[in-house]
Amino acid sequence: MRLLAEAQVEDVAVGAALLGTGGGGNPYIGKLLAQQAIRRHGPARVVSLGEVADDALGVFSAMMGAPTVMVEKIPRGDELVRAFRALEERLGRSVTHVVPAEVGGINSTLPIAAAATLGLPLVDGDGMGRAFPEVQMCTPTIYAIAATPMALADEKGNAAVIETVDNRWTERLSRSITVEFGCTALIALYPMSGVQIRESLVPGTLSLAEDLGRLLRDGHGIDGVLRRLRAHRLFEGKVVDVERRTVGGFARGEARIDGVDGDGGSTLRLRFQNEHLLAERDGEVVATVPDLIIVVDAETGEPVTTEELRYGFRVAVAAAPCDERWRSAAGLELVGPRAFGYDLDYVPIEARMSAGAGRR
């Protein structure tokens, strides 16, 4: 076990925004909520997957909805606690561990706030190793772990608990509730035993996010981050157009980046649904989900989320390999290109780079 203090949340927030592949919600808001909770209740206790007992009850903690909405619709602060209490009442027992649903943006820092406020240990792992836009798109689904019972709460005081026949139905019904809540909700879901936590989660991702933030803070820049993630630089250029819309509780759209320096004369298009899903250079696909497509400020290496992308930004785009489980047949059925409506096969980023795609 280790303690996560207020100062360390800064690094986690930056690293989580990198791993969030453009989504996961505004990391700044989550950072403030986590730091406020730590000031009030003390540091969060972080435990590894191996430290979780077999009979534990761990629950995912997250924000659901369109990240663009949260820029203006800030959480009140007690929604996660109300969601946890509603789920505990339904389960008839107390939650023992808070688990990040994803290591991306606000969904890496909100669990810190929940753990500090509730006085519960926070598991150093998550269900994605990155961020994905839909509830069923997490590693516990590969292991046939049910997402429900699931609790949702909003800033107005509303709460709901749902049970569904499978995790895809959980996504459909909870998304409808989230839209009615105002396109964002704070959620508690995927109740898991310690055995299930150790088997199904991606380990060490909270520590990885902290490491990435520290690398940037210590001046290692883009190259330091790329080395840590075994990532490949795809493109550098200026954002010349962004189309962004909120549809069905998601932020959907695409960005066009015109190349500079070694990428001059080329154009990169990014397509996203909360998170970046597809990168095309001059019409050729150079990276796809489930690999991580990461956009950073070209000078500082600071992450740029999909809601922050603006005309004139000078950015660098990179791609990093995803957790190996996403490359299995079951993983690709959940989060491969076709799961998002793209009629193309997944090719690992390492194979694309070896073949020369995306190189300058």
pLDDT digits (tens, 9 = 90+) for 234-276: 999 999 999 988 776 677 899 999 999 999 999 999 999 889 9
| Angle (CA) 244 126 40, round 5° | 90
Are 187 and 236 found together in one domain?
no
- Which of 97-106, 158-167, 241-250 has the highest average model confidence (pLDDT)? 158-167
Confidence class of residue 356 from pLDDT cuts 50, 70 and 90?
Answer: confident
Residue 113 lies in a domain: yes
Q: Tell which of 140, 175, 206 closes a domain.
A: 206
pLDDT digits (tens, 9 = 90+) for 39-68: 999 999 999 999 999 999 999 999 998 666
Q: How large is the C-alpha radius of gyration of the chain?
A: 19
Are 166 and 246 found together in one domain?
no
Q: Which two tokens stand for residue 350?
A: 């390492």
Q: Is the pLDDT of residue 81 over 80?
A: yes
Are 8 and 109 found together in one domain?
yes
Q: Tell which of 206, 232, 265 closes a domain.
A: 206
Is 167 within 8 Å of 57 (Cβ atoms)? Answer: no
For the domain that residue 107 is a member of, what is the CATH number? 3.40.1610.10
Q: Is the pLDDT of residue 71 over 70?
A: no
Is 171 within 8 Å of 177 (Cβ atoms)? Answer: no
Q: Is the pLDDT of residue 211 over 60?
A: yes
Q: Is the pLDDT of residue 30 over 90?
A: no
Are 286 and 264 found together in one domain?
yes
Q: What is the mean pLDDT of residues 198-210?
A: 97
Q: What is the mean pLDDT of residues 312-338?
A: 97
Are 267 and 174 found together in one domain?
no
The pLDDT value given to residue 70: 63
Q: What is the mean pLDDT of residues 130-144?
A: 96
For the domain that residue 281 is a member of, what is the CATH number? 2.40.390.10
Is 337 within 8 Å of 277 (Cβ atoms)? Answer: yes
**Mean model confidence pLDDT for the chain:** 93
The pLDDT value given to residue 72: 66
Q: Which two tokens stand for residue 242?
A: 């962004």
Q: What's the rounded Cα separation, in Å, for the pair 114 and 295?
A: 28
H-assigned helices in the chain: 6-19, 27-41, 67-70, 79-91, 106-118, 139-142, 167-180, 194-200, 205-217, 221-229, 329-335, 349-354
Confidence class of residue 334 from pLDDT cuts 50, 70 and 90?
Answer: very high
The pLDDT value given to residue 170: 98
Is 291 within 8 Å of 320 (Cβ atoms)? Answer: yes
Residues paired with residue 189 on neighbouring β-strands, in sequence order: 60
Residue 360 lies in a domain: no
Q: Is the pLDDT of residue 360 over 50?
A: no
Are 89 and 37 found together in one domain?
yes
Q: Tell which of 206, 240, 261 closes a domain.
A: 206
Which residue segment(s) compose the domain that 282 sits in? Answer: 220-354
Q: What is the mean pLDDT of residues 296-312?
A: 91
Residue 60 lies in a domain: yes
The number of domains in the chain is: 2
pLDDT digits (tens, 9 = 90+) for 320-331: 999 999 999 999
